[in-house]
Amino acid sequence: MTETKLRETICLLAKSMFDRGLTGGSTGNISARTEDGGLLVSPTGTSFGRLDPARLSRFDADGNFVSGDQPTKEMPLHSAFYDTRSTAGAVVHLHSCHSVALSMMPDVDPDNFLPPMTPYSIMKLGKVTLLPFFMPGDPAMGDAVRGLAGKRSAVMLANHGPVVAGKDIEAACNAIEELEDTAKLAIMMRGYRAKMLTPEQVNAVVTQFNVEWD
């Protein structure tokens, strides 16, 4: 994808998520690899609903900031995924309500945050690790992601929001939407005796779709 097209796609997908209430105000950030190995990143303090393709922050292949507005303060999160996952072509971070709500529940599994409700969260995300609370912009968030050694494509920041890496910008956006949808289902079904996928069914999905699951 050309850089011009990538800039337009980032802004289009970000606005779509904003318009559907997946992140509000000036929350969330998004980045994607360019053809030359650099990065395009949403600027600090900007709204997903009003990103300007020409003003996206631009980094070269060596990680040097070269043009555009100043990048999001959450760059350590993005860099951690790119540095530890060779397949990462884009990273998205949202402040989506249902996933944040689920992160506050005392009984969630920090090693496998999402309950096995549908095959699609397993297929698109693998296991999602719940990380503890960090102050916004704290570089320690990036350190926590690096500590996973590239084994997770998605993490949930407790009381904050999800972060997902994908092979490209569309894959990352689709996956983070699946994360939020699954969290919404989990909240909706609390108090009911919901039938989850069995361990055998989960293993079948993992095997059939070659999902990272260790």
Q: Identify the active-site residue in 1, 120, 139, 170.
A: 120
Beta bridge partners of 39: 33, 59
**Residue (of 90, 71, 81) closest to 174 by Cα position:** 90
Q: Could you confirm whether 192 is annotated as catalytic?
A: no
From residue 16, alpha-carbon distances to 81, 86, 151 in Å are: 24, 27, 29
CA distance 44 to 199: 42
Burial 42-63 (b: 16+ CB within 10 A, else e): bbbebbbbebebeebbbbeeee
**Residue (of 83, 84, 74, 85) closest to 161 by Cα position:** 74
Q: What are phi and psi of 56, to 5 degrees?
A: -60, 145
The residues that are catalytic are 120
